[in-house]
Amino acid sequence: MKHLQTYINLSIFTFLFILASHACLAAAPLRDSTQIRSAWYKKLSVSAQYQYFRTCHHSRFDGGYAFADYDASPHFSIGIGIGYDFCVLHPDNGYNLRNVKVLPVVADFRYIPFPKWTISPFAMADLGYSTFLKYNQEDPAHLKNTIKMTDHGLYTFGGVGFLVKVSSKAAIYTTAGFTGMHMSFNNNDVNPRGLSNQFGVRVNLY
């Protein structure tokens, strides 16, 4: 919970920053109306990434994610993605949670202020739903039987990173931010959250 308010503030700031920047771009003078616009399918891209996630409970999650994105403008893209995260041991609420598996489905938002740069900073935010959060709940004192549990809830990520173009179609990127796999205002919920790093590759489909 101690990180939740900070994350909410950062998320609101990032959202307002992206919204204001996008509004400024939309208000800029239009280019020559005779210019031929690119077809929508030429603005599609796919991404694959690895996420290293260290929770505030000092446990480690490793995950893989895949995204399909649409470039709504040269600076802003939206998309959808799916991921899978795994943790061998996550202590929470006085229990040892073993073999934790998470399957989130998320909406992906990325803002690139300088799209023509070879090495470009960007902001990234994901908001979605962990369709399941499965684990074996073990009593550390072994006074109770181990129980198989399944939960689900809000998934969030917000962070900043750098994208490096390696060709006209492909780029690699890395981000640092805050991940929450089951964000909740209830301290009794199992809600893995903390700092994360991501490393990925993005490929344009045109």
Does residue 38 surpass a pLDDT of 80?
no
Find, among 195, 203, 109, 95, the residue nearest to 151 by Cα.
95
Give the CA distances from residue 34 to residues 30, 38, 41, in Å, rounded to whole numbers and listed in that order: 11, 13, 20
Residue 37: half-sphere exposure toward Cβ, Cα within 13 Å: 12
Does residue 149 surpass a pLDDT of 80?
yes
Q: How many domains does the chain have?
A: 1
Q: Does residue 70 sit within a domain?
A: yes
Q: Does residue 150 sit within a domain?
A: yes
Q: Does residue 155 sit within a domain?
A: yes
Does residue 192 surpass a pLDDT of 50?
yes
DSSP code of 40? G
Does residue 22 surpass a pLDDT of 70?
no
150/181 Cα distance (integer angstroms)? 13
- Residue range of the domain that includes 139: 4-24+43-204
Average pLDDT rounded to a whole number, residues 64-68? 97
Does the model's pTM come out above 0.85?
no
Q: Does residue 31 sit within a domain?
A: no
Q: Does residue 33 sit within a domain?
A: no
Mean pLDDT of the chain: 86
| CATH number of the domain residue 8 falls in | 2.40.160.20
Cα angle vertex 74, ends 69, 77, to 5°? 25
Does residue 41 surpass a pLDDT of 90?
no
Q: Does residue 93 sit within a domain?
A: yes
pLDDT digits (tens, 9 = 90+) for 194-203: 999 999 999 9
152/162 Cα distance (integer angstroms)? 31
